Amino acid sequence: MKTEADLLPLSPQAARAVGRLRPARKIGRQIFVFLAPFVLYGLFLLYNGVNPWELYVSMVRSAFGDWFGFGETLIKATPILLTGLAAALPARAGLINVGGEGQLAIGALLATMAAVWLLDAVPAAAGIPLMLFAGALGGALWAGVTALLKVAGRMNETIASLLLNYVAVFLVGYFVHGPLKDPHSFNWPFSPEIARQLRLPVFDGTRLHIGFLLAIAFAVLVWLVLAKTGTGFRIRVLGGNRIAAERAGIRVSLIYAGVLLAAGALAGIAGMIEIAGIEGRLRPTTGATYGYLGFLAAWMAWNHPLRLLLTSFLLGMIAVAGNELEIGSGLPSSSVHMLMALVLFFLMGGARGRKA
């Protein structure tokens, strides 16, 4: 219960002192939110006999030590950024799209089909854009199933998009074991290698391809649409209050379908980039986990397309560090997902503290 002293107004001197403390408290909170996940993960590493300082130094070196390491981080960040956009765009309309994993897989499948069956002799200037279109089409078609279930069937898009991920994985598995299987694979389940001219150009001395520039361009494009256009305004209004949007005459079903199709296209492009930039052929595991990492990156960025550039790079750096962890300590590389989860929890907790 507040006392009478608590209800008295602050003196001018006290008010100025409190005002000076607020920036310091804000900076202190941000430092805590950033450092706490690494401290907790460091305790986990110590328990397992791993020197956390050496691991964190290797993380920084792997990301910034040379051009090759920096390129590997950008390679990991590219599909995370695109699948993050596939989660962030529907989220601005009030939808939760967890289907980036399946949309990426189907985009990779259609891009590989186009490359192997139709574009084998097509020059790069036409073949790569057509492959990109095929990947976007595959992702959009798969997201269209979720859109149809949401708009026409009144189903929850979160559950529908999540369950369709498993269907997509099995569908890819069917093709690489059957119609799309390389006849010279010695019974390994993967497609024939795509034509050399359909591979994305790479930078000398690295595996980094121009796909990361495409991902950045799409992030800027999504931000421009959301922030500077009438369509983006309607999307944000719908995400803020569906009832108000309906009363304002906004066609809710049309926007729901549109953002899901666009999201699927973005994830499908991530699948095409994995085929044309890294893999060179379709495998059952092509792009595995990138859809879920993109969803995590979108939440960490609070569904802001430009902040996604930072969170995707951070998760890409942590993913590259997972390889260092597995080689240097014997712990599975997947254990770095614990660090990703801790970063997310503390970011969300810090945001709730600011709102309070």
Task: Tell me if 89 is assigned to some domain.
Answer: yes
Boundaries of domain holding 71: 28-355
Query: Residues 262-294: pLDDT tens digits?
Result: 999 999 999 999 999 999 999 999 999 999 999
In terms of Cα–Cα distance, which of 120, 85, 91 is closest to 268? 85
CB atoms within 10 A of CB 196: 8
CB atoms within 10 A of CB 344: 17
Query: Which stretches of 249-335 are DSSP H helices?
Result: 252-273, 290-300, 307-329
Query: Residues 300-345: pLDDT tens digits?
Result: 888 999 999 999 998 998 888 777 677 666 777 777 778 888 887 8
Listed ranges 29-33, 63-67, 293-297; the one with the highest mean pLDDT? 293-297
Q: Predicted confidence band at 7 (pLDDT cuts at 50, 70, 90)? A: very low
Task: Tell me if 14 is assigned to some domain.
Answer: no
Q: Predicted confidence band at 213 (pLDDT cuts at 50, 70, 90)? A: very high
Question: Chain-wide mean pLDDT for the chain?
Answer: 89
The CATH number of the domain holding residue 311 is 1.10.3470
| pLDDT value at 49 more than 90 | no
Task: Tell me if 299 is assigned to some domain.
Answer: yes
Q: Give the residue-averaged pLDDT of 170-199.
A: 95
Contact present, 150 and 128 (Cβ < 8 Å): no
Task: Tell me if 21 is assigned to some domain.
Answer: no
Half-sphere exposure of 152 (CA within 13 A, CB side): 6
Task: Tell me if 107 is assigned to some domain.
Answer: yes
**Sign (positive/negative) of CA torsion 74, 79, 83, 85?**
positive
Phi, then psi, of 209 in degrees rounded to 5: -115, 175
CB atoms within 10 A of CB 213: 13
Contact present, 128 and 119 (Cβ < 8 Å): no
Structure tokens given for 203:
């930078």
Helix (H, G, I), strand (E, B) or coil at 8: coil
Q: How far apart are CA 69 and CA 82, in angstroms?
A: 21
Q: Rounded to two decimals, what is the model's pTM?
A: 0.88
* pLDDT confidence of residue 1: 46
| pLDDT value at 29 more than 90 | no
Task: Tell me if 108 is assigned to some domain.
Answer: yes
Contact present, 256 and 79 (Cβ < 8 Å): no
* pLDDT confidence of residue 348: 73
Q: Predicted confidence band at 4 (pLDDT cuts at 50, 70, 90)? A: very low
Q: Tally the domains of the chain.
A: 1
* pLDDT confidence of residue 249: 93
Q: How far apart are CA 312 and CA 317, in angstroms?
A: 9
DSSP string of 169-188?
HHHHHHHHHTTT--TTSTT-
Task: Tell me if 22 is assigned to some domain.
Answer: no
CA 335 from centre of chain: 19
DSSP string of 314-326?
HHHHHHHHHHHHH
Task: Tell me if 6 is assigned to some domain.
Answer: no
